[in-house]
Structure 1
Amino acid sequence: MTGLVATFLVVAVLIMCLGSEVRSDASDHHYKAGDPVPLYANKVGPFHNPSETYAFFDLPFCSPDPVKEKKETLGEVLNGDRLVSAPYKIDFLVDKYSQVACRKMLTKEEVSRFRNAVVKDYFIQMYFDDLPIWAFIGKTDYGGVVEQIQYKYLLFKHLHFHIFFNKDRVIEVAVRTDPQFFVDISEDKEVDVEFMYTVNWKEIQIPFEKRMERYSLSSTLPHHLEIHWFAIMNSCVTIVLLVGCFVTFYIRVLKKDIMKYAQDEELSDNQEETGWKYIHGDVFRYPKHKSLFAAAIGSGTQFFTLMVFVLILGLAGIFYPYNRGRLLTALVVIYAITSVIAGYTAVSFYCQLEGPNWVGSLLFVGCIFSGPLFVTFCFLNTVAMAFRVTAALPLGTIALIFLIWIFLASPLLLLGGIAGKNSKSEFQAPCRTSKCPREIPTLRWYRGLLPQMALAGVLPFGVIYREIYYIFASIWGHRVYSTYGILCIVFVLLLVVTAFVALALTYFLLAAEDHEWWWRSFLCGGSTGLFIYGYCFYYYFTRTAMNGLLQSSFFFGYMACICYGIFLMLGTVGFRASLVFIRYIYGSIKCE
């Protein structure tokens, strides 16, 4: 309990740190006329492959002398941001018309690199006073006759900055390329390029506190919100039907069984003992692989807590659009902090199951998710380094994450484990467990593990199907996700449906006199994570234009880790719901 309170206090501090300026951006700058406004070039990359981004000057743009690198936060580095000083100089309230940024003679090799970027629809991203701006570097034009189409590759050389201000603050910025100013780079020959830019300032009345709203509104258009609410209403209808079916089942079947067993009716001589009541001596027999099971429950509880805190931060407005890595920073820090919850839950539950080696269970919970994540990261970071993309984490960032794990997550995990060992709580079982296990009868094929997991996963997945698309479009696309209120509702609906489906399947398993429900309830509850990973293939091949080894490995690698975390979290929900249900029904009858 003390560890849980400490966790809430630390996360409260995190909210204050991350939320020191939740209204718009991280700076809150004021400027006087003529003051230079910071403009940083970030990265370039193909529009359809979000993970394939390169440092801005990996393309042969002319660079300022010297190039100044902005010190990034942990979240910015994890997000692939690499901010450097841009070749364009913009002063507050100073208009410029066709100003020459620099002039450069492109070699044949540099022309070929630019042409390859134009073919792949490369875009550039910059930050002006912490406001994101984008522009394509060129376009493909078509010439010639129909019988012999010739392609022209045009490099834009003129950027037009439209900047809106309110008194002494920048409110909005937009950049566009002027199609009348371009360079033909279709042939492998040297090209003399003069990069130019134009700056226009215009005053508006939008307050500084609301300058990020336009990014949120771009993703919450009226028809998008209608689709969101329509999907939620469909999910609510599904839950109402599910709860109605369960209530009907409880009144007509379960309550009748409980009344019959509570009265301890004697069976006739020719009547066999069947039903869930007659395995009361085995239903609380501890599961196999107790260390692994306790670790899975502890890790699932940690992910549940992590998700709750992320939703709280999202509702508080911490994760405003283009916050440059705040979400990733929060995920790393909160995951490390909630290790105390994982350690406490796993070890205390393991001790309730009378496990002899609580240290082994603690090691399991420390590696059950971090181990696969570490292996996946090593492979993907190697791929990123081979492609020289900004997603490759530098050694300093890897060392920082390692230090967070060693000096924050591991001690908290150990502290939680010690607290769990000393809690000395006992497993609450309303029935005694017999010495000899009862033989499990042969079950029909549709009561097998895989059919049950398929049935258990399809209903919760149907509840969140529509919302998953918007989340994927935000993570692996260019859409902004800001509807955390809707996400919170969908999350609650997901938990409710998972719990009801898991306990219903557990009842049918017990009715078939199969008392090995522990792992079954966990696997059936977590099967939604497998459905989400299956949806990843559908989304990748039908909803996007992503391609290539780099993008494919990043998408399927990191989505496997995310879905694995969801599997652990929902598996824990399914087990906990089944455990409460079983304790209730067996506590309502007389057991010898």
Structure 2
Amino acid sequence: MGSGTPSFLGLLCALLTLRPGSGFYLPGLAPVSFCPVNIQLFVNRLDSIESVLPYEYDFFDFCKDDQEKRPSENLGQVLFGERIETSPYKFSFMKTETCAKVCTKSYDVSKQEERTKLEFLKKGMQLNYQHHWIVDNMPVTWCYTVEDNQKYCNPGFPIGCYVDGNGHPKDACVINAQFNEKNTFYVFNHVDITITYHSGEGEGWTGARLVAATLEPRSYKHEDENKPVCEGEPMSIPGITNSNVKITYSYSVTFTKNNNIKWASRWDYILVSMPHTNIQWFSIMNSLVIVLFLSGMVAMIMLRTLHKDIARYNQEEAQEESGWKQVHGDVFRPPRNGMVLSVFLGQGAQIFIMTFITLFLACLGFLSPANRGALMTCAVVLWVLLGTPAGYVSARMYKTFGGEKWKTNVLLTALLCPGIIFADFFVMNLILWVEGSSAAIPFGTLVAVLALWFGISVPLTFVGAYFGFKKQHPVRTNQIPRQIPEQSFFTKPLPGIIMGGILPFGCIFIQLFFILNTKEQHSILGQNSGRKSKCFHRPLVKAGTYVWILN
């Protein structure tokens, strides 16, 4: 076995394996050792911070793979809109390539179809759409120096850049002084790829493991498409194009050995360059302790007050009732919208348990960053399987309120909130489908989600409701409601909600900001290419702890 200590679960599964000599590894966490064979480079969807619509790689009319294949995608990947496919950039391990041609794209502006493709490519450069390439489950990163000489590694690189009519370079155009023509687009039609590997010399395994993949985007105007020369003027496209355009795509690849970087630490160079995505664990724990401490203080004060009141009432039986004892027969009186409240409580319990279990598994490292879409898949599956707690909580609360329409309660618990979300999701999906975005969910996936909802979640909600309706009413209420005196301004619902929510909101807002900010970095995940070399080797490794950054 490789480096890392197997967990108890891993040992148990290994013992249950029937075939002698077979090994166990956590999916997506095992390294691949390469021999001098072809390396497959994958491409993912293109996105931009200036646009909400991602697009597939082929939508921009780039070079295509003649034998295009799409790896199998899980539910989470499809829901996230991941569109991974093989690329035409193919090279052999340890074989250096210099200015190798990929393909040539020609655009005849007199033809409407080709002119439309060219205009869409220019629009992509103007909106700074980014490539996302993957090799051996690793993102191919573009590393450059930013302020304070800090090295930043971007998991994507732009398809090009734009210099506006005033001569101001936008986005990546600032990296080259040759990008200086007004109202001009510059295409990054060449990439210098550098692959760093760790050899197995003296470590008990053969081959080499990829530990880093970086590139430098370039722009070259290849005069001879059959013999490209990676030097000279950049590939420019005028903002107002009246002549035909021909773009030749090329690449160079080099290999570098670095045995100081272990395979298990190959994500570090990306994570170190992203200090803004680190979760402030100390701040989160500090806020959690403060909330628990204050909540405990309030609970102790209330319990102590109630204990004194009960002792005083027991000693003086003849004393007139006052304080909380006057309303003990009214506190469990059914609210005006008890049905809706119970339904929301049931759905809230389902989502809360789902979120807690998902985060717990993520913190333990079971949701590996190498397994794309694992976080979303886990959340969806858990939500489907947690229909029983939703039905139980909703039914018990509704029974507490004295409700009798139990069938309506169960159906609303199973269908109301998910139905609203699914309807909204379906409408947005239609819009994405019309726009041709890769974020549009296929019809088959929608059917699968509906099957999980009605086939598993709804029956489990009925099971939970069956046990919830068996509970009895905890306290009897007075037949005649007690008259409520006129309330002060600060005791009314809206001021009470605002004042009571300031403390928890102030404690969790910053933490949620960091968590959600790191959640958006899921695009730097790799995708397992599934290629096995002749010296294929998969030892067991320890689960990573980068799930927040990478998932």
Band the TM-score falls in, shorter-chain normalisation: 0.7 to 0.9
Q: Structure 1 residues 275 and 219 mapped into 2: Cα distance closer, same or farther (>3 Å)? A: farther
User: Quick one: percent identity of the two aligned structures?
Assistant: 25
What residue identity is the alignment partner of 2:236?
D
Query: How far apart, CA to CA, are the structure 2 residues paired with 1:322 and 1:106?
Result: 39
Match of residue 233, structure 1, among 270, 282, 286: 286
Aligned to 1:208: 263
Match of residue 444, structure 1, among 484, 488, 493: 488
| SS of aligned partner of 2:478 | coil
Q: Structure 1 residues 299 and 245 mapped into 2: Cα distance closer, same or farther (>3 Å)? A: closer
Which structure 1 segments of 5+ residues have no match?
1-8, 488-592
Q: CA RMSD in A?
A: 3.4
- Structure 1 position 199 matched with structure 2 position 218: no
Deviation, 1:389, is 0.9
- Structure 1 position 136 matched with structure 2 position 158: yes
- Structure 1 position 454 matched with structure 2 position 498: yes
Q: Structure 1 residues 126 and 479 mapped into 2: Cα distance closer, same or farther (>3 Å)? A: closer
Q: Work out whether residues 36 and 90 of structure 1, in 8 Å CA contact, stay in contact via their aligned partners in 2.
A: yes
Match of residue 311, structure 2, among 235, 253, 259: 259
Aligned to 1:151: 183
Aligned to 1:557: none
- Structure 1 position 463 matched with structure 2 position 507: yes
Match of residue 383, structure 1, among 426, 431, 440: 431
Q: Work out whether residues 334 and 401 of structure 2, in 8 Å CA contact, stay in contact via their aligned partners in 1.
A: yes
Query: How far apart, CA to CA, are the structure 1 residues paired with 2:362 and 2:505?
Result: 23
Q: Structure 1 residues 261 and 372 mapped into 2: Cα distance closer, same or farther (>3 Å)? A: farther
Q: Structure 1 residues 398 and 414 mapped into 2: Cα distance closer, same or farther (>3 Å)? A: same
Query: How far apart, CA to CA, are the structure 2 residues paired with 1:219 and 1:263?
Result: 66
Q: Work out whether residues 32 and 92 of structure 1, in 8 Å CA contact, stay in contact via their aligned partners in 2.
A: yes
Deviation, 1:477, is 5.9
Query: How far apart, CA to CA, are the structure 2 residues paired with 1:486 and 1:74?
Result: 19
Aligned to 1:178: 218
Aligned to 1:161: 193
Deviation, 1:234, is 5.2
What residue identity is the alignment partner of 2:252?
T
Q: Structure 1 residues 123 and 305 mapped into 2: Cα distance closer, same or farther (>3 Å)? A: same
Deviation, 1:260, is 2.7
| SS of aligned partner of 1:196 | strand
Q: Work out whether residues 160 and 175 of structure 1, in 8 Å CA contact, stay in contact via their aligned partners in 2.
A: yes
Aligned to 2:538: none
Query: How far apart, CA to CA, are the structure 1 residues paired with 2:85 and 2:455?
Result: 32
| SS of aligned partner of 1:471 | helix
What residue identity is the alignment partner of 1:67?
E
Query: How far apart, CA to CA, are the structure 1 residues paired with 2:523 and 2:105?
Result: 35
What residue identity is the alignment partner of 1:263?
Q
More relative contact order, 1 or 2 (CA 8 Å, 6+ apart):
2
Deviation, 1:358, is 1.9
Query: How far apart, CA to CA, are the structure 2 residues paired with 1:464 and 1:76?
Result: 29
| SS of aligned partner of 1:90 | strand
Q: Work out whether residues 111 and 190 of structure 1, in 8 Å CA contact, stay in contact via their aligned partners in 2.
A: no
Deviations 1:78-136 (A, max 9, x none): 11111122121122222211111112213332332222111111111122122123211
Q: Work out whether residues 282 and 433 of structure 1, in 8 Å CA contact, stay in contact via their aligned partners in 2.
A: yes
Q: Structure 1 residues 231 and 420 mapped into 2: Cα distance closer, same or farther (>3 Å)? A: closer
Deviations 1:17-45 (A, max 9, x none): xxx8558x367433221x22222111112
- Structure 1 position 426 matched with structure 2 position 472: yes
Aligned to 2:54: 53
Q: Structure 1 residues 158 and 462 mapped into 2: Cα distance closer, same or farther (>3 Å)? A: same
Deviations 1:264-311 (A, max 9, x none): 46447xxxx542211122222233343333222221221121012112
| SS of aligned partner of 1:140 | strand
**TM-score of the two chains, using structure 2 as the length reference:** 0.74
- Structure 1 position 341 matched with structure 2 position 389: yes
Which structure 2 residues correspond to residues 111-126 of structure 1 after superposition, within 5 A? 111-126=118-133
Deviation, 1:386, is 2.2
Deviation, 1:483, is 7.7
Query: How far apart, CA to CA, are the structure 2 residues paired with 1:484 and 1:321?
Result: 7
Q: Work out whether residues 291 and 504 of structure 2, in 8 Å CA contact, stay in contact via their aligned partners in 1.
A: no
Q: Work out whether residues 142 and 152 of structure 1, in 8 Å CA contact, stay in contact via their aligned partners in 2.
A: yes
What residue identity is the alignment partner of 1:41?
V
Aligned to 2:380: 332
Deviation, 1:398, is 0.7
Q: Structure 1 residues 228 and 106 mapped into 2: Cα distance closer, same or farther (>3 Å)? A: farther
Q: Work out whether residues 384 and 452 of structure 2, in 8 Å CA contact, stay in contact via their aligned partners in 1.
A: yes
What residue identity is the alignment partner of 1:428?
P
Aligned to 1:103: 104
Match of residue 517, structure 2, among 459, 462, 473: 473
What residue identity is the alignment partner of 1:209?
A
| SS of aligned partner of 1:390 | coil
Q: Structure 1 residues 420 and 266 mapped into 2: Cα distance closer, same or farther (>3 Å)? A: closer
Which structure 2 segments of 5+ residues have no match?
1-8, 17-23, 110-114, 141-155, 169-179, 200-207, 221-229, 526-543
| SS of aligned partner of 2:89 | coil
Q: Work out whether residues 228 and 486 of structure 1, in 8 Å CA contact, stay in contact via their aligned partners in 2.
A: no
Q: Work out whether residues 215 and 480 of structure 1, in 8 Å CA contact, stay in contact via their aligned partners in 2.
A: no
Q: Work out whether residues 342 and 416 of structure 1, in 8 Å CA contact, stay in contact via their aligned partners in 2.
A: yes
Q: How many corresponding residue pairs?
A: 457
Larger mean Cα displacement after TM superposition, 229-238 or 473-482: 473-482
Query: How far apart, CA to CA, are the structure 2 residues paired with 1:477 and 1:164?
Result: 23
Match of residue 41, structure 2, among 33, 39, 42: 39
Q: Work out whether residues 157 and 193 of structure 1, in 8 Å CA contact, stay in contact via their aligned partners in 2.
A: yes
What residue identity is the alignment partner of 1:93?
M
**TM-score of the two chains, using structure 1 as the length reference:** 0.69
Aligned to 1:301: 349
- Structure 1 position 127 matched with structure 2 position 127: no
Query: How far apart, CA to CA, are the structure 2 residues paired with 1:382 and 1:479?
Result: 23
Aligned to 1:563: none
Q: Work out whether residues 474 and 480 of structure 1, in 8 Å CA contact, stay in contact via their aligned partners in 2.
A: no
Query: How far apart, CA to CA, are the structure 1 residues paired with 2:159 and 2:463?
Result: 53
| SS of aligned partner of 1:38 | strand
- Structure 1 position 70 matched with structure 2 position 44: no
